[in-house]
Amino acid sequence: MGDLVFEWMCRGAGLFVLLLLGGIIVTLFIGGLPAFRQFGLDFLVSTRWDPVEGREQFGGAVAIIGTLMSSILAIIFAVPVAFGIAFFLTELAPPWLRRPMGTAIELLAAVPSIIFGMWGLFVLVPFVQRNIQLPFGDALSELPLIGVLFQSTNFAGTSIFAASLVLAIMILPFIAATMRDVFEQVPPVYKESAYGLGGTRWEVMTGVVIPYTRISVVGGIMLGLGRALGETMAVTFVIGNANRIATSFFDPTTTIASVIAMEFPESLAGGLQQSSLFALGFLLFLISFIVLASSRYLLRSRLKG
């Protein structure tokens, strides 16, 4: 009897989460329906975001591209550092340092995102503006082909580059912790055999550990990507919030989450603007779902194998 009650309680809890998720996605879809009806597929590709009364025209392309670009840049910044941390913690660090340092990295995940946002705005943005954009931006913009990536007429410092840096720091603990955990799962006998053949630490890492844990590492990176996609407060502070596609690292742009955070409170219930914000929320949900589902899939196949 007790077993049966327990089983159904657990089953109910699981079903409840599914229902809740379903409820959220249905609510977002219904909220966004008027916008999808009005603009159709154009909503995905139009860069026009004009909330001015009487000529409302909404397209989510800038926010969607901004979300993907800032998240991918953040992954590019975070992965090498996370790899370094995980490598250090599993191979190089003396045993007494491993636990405290691992805990410290994980604690980074507990800092509220608004703190990262404020720190980004007050410390990182002026630093990037003075020490990266001004010296490097001018010098690198002379380069052929890629010069345009560094050339910007925007000097306020809040930019996609600053946003990606803040995001990279925020997702670092997730990726580093996953990498450390899976590196530790590598059977010692594999590594010892490689060391026995005269391999260096680097060769063991790249020749044995990485191939063995490759899929799990990618899964961890996807988890970080999922976190970066939905991050709102910190990004809102530092990305510059402009409805323009960034053609350079130092251009301001916007993300789905920050457009919603910025414009939702002032939008009228039932209006086309609010509906478009719901529609953007729905799209963000879809993107995050795809990313998280694929990370789950990758992590699971490793655990079985």
Q: Which stretch binds another protein (CB under 8 A): 32-40, 46-54, 184-192, 282-290?
A: 46-54
- Residue selected from 42, 106, 184, 263 as contacting another protein according to rule CB under 8 A: 263
- For another protein, the binding residues in 170-199 under the rule CB under 8 A are none
> Applying CB under 8 A, does 131 fall inside the site for another protein?
no
For helices 160-184 and 210-230, angle between their N-to-C axes, nearest 10 degrees: 140
Cα→Cα distances 13→6, 10, 38, 63, Å: 11, 5, 38, 35
In whole angstroms, the minimum distance from the beta carbon of 271 to another protein comes to: 9
- Does position 154 interact with another protein (CB under 8 A)? The reply is yes
Q: What sign has the CA pseudo-torsion 107, 109, 115, 120?
A: positive
For the CB of residue 240, give the shortest distance to another protein in the complex, in Å.
Answer: 4
Min. distance of Cβ 227 from another protein in angstroms?
A: 21
Applying CB under 8 A, among 189, 269, 304, 305 the residue interacting with another protein is 269
User: Is residue 262 a contact point for another protein (CB under 8 A)?
Assistant: yes
Q: Does 126 bind another protein (CB under 8 A)?
A: yes
Q: How many chain residues are in contact with another protein, going by CB under 8 A?
A: 35
| Beta partners for residue 253, in sequence order | 240
Using the rule CB under 8 A, is 3 a contact of another protein?
A: no
Three-state secondary-structure class, residue 58: strand
Determine if 156 is a binding residue for another protein (CB under 8 A): yes
Place of tokens 């219904």: 30
Q: Is 236 in the site for another protein (CB under 8 A)?
A: yes
Lay out the site mask for another protein across 199-228 (x = CB under 8 A, - = otherwise): ------------------------------
Q: Smallest Cα–Cα separation from 286: which of 40, 25, 35?
A: 25
132 to each of 75, 126, 140, 300, how far by Cα in Å?
20, 10, 11, 41
Residue 50 backbone dihedrals phi, psi, to 5 degrees = -125, 95
Give the H/E segment covering residue 49.
Answer: strand 49-50
Among 108, 111, 242, 245, binds another protein (CB under 8 A): 242
> Does 265 engage in binding with another protein (CB under 8 A)?
yes
Residue 103 as a binder of another protein (CB under 8 A): the answer is no
Minimum CB separation of residue 105 from another protein in Å reads 29
Count CB neighbours of 39 within 10 A: 21
Closest CA to 163 of 81, 232, 62, 61: 232
Q: What's the min distance (Å) between Cβ of 54 and another protein?
A: 9
Q: Does 122 bind another protein (CB under 8 A)?
A: yes
Q: Is the separation of the CB atoms in 163 and 235 below 8 Å?
A: yes
Is residue 164 a contact partner of residue 181, using CB atoms and an 8 Å limit? no
93 is written with which tokens? Answer: 């660090």
Q: Which is nearer to another protein, 224 or 230 (CB)?
A: 230
Binding site for another protein (CB under 8 A): 48-53, 55, 121-122, 125-126, 129, 153-158, 236-237, 240-243, 252, 254, 258, 261-263, 265-269
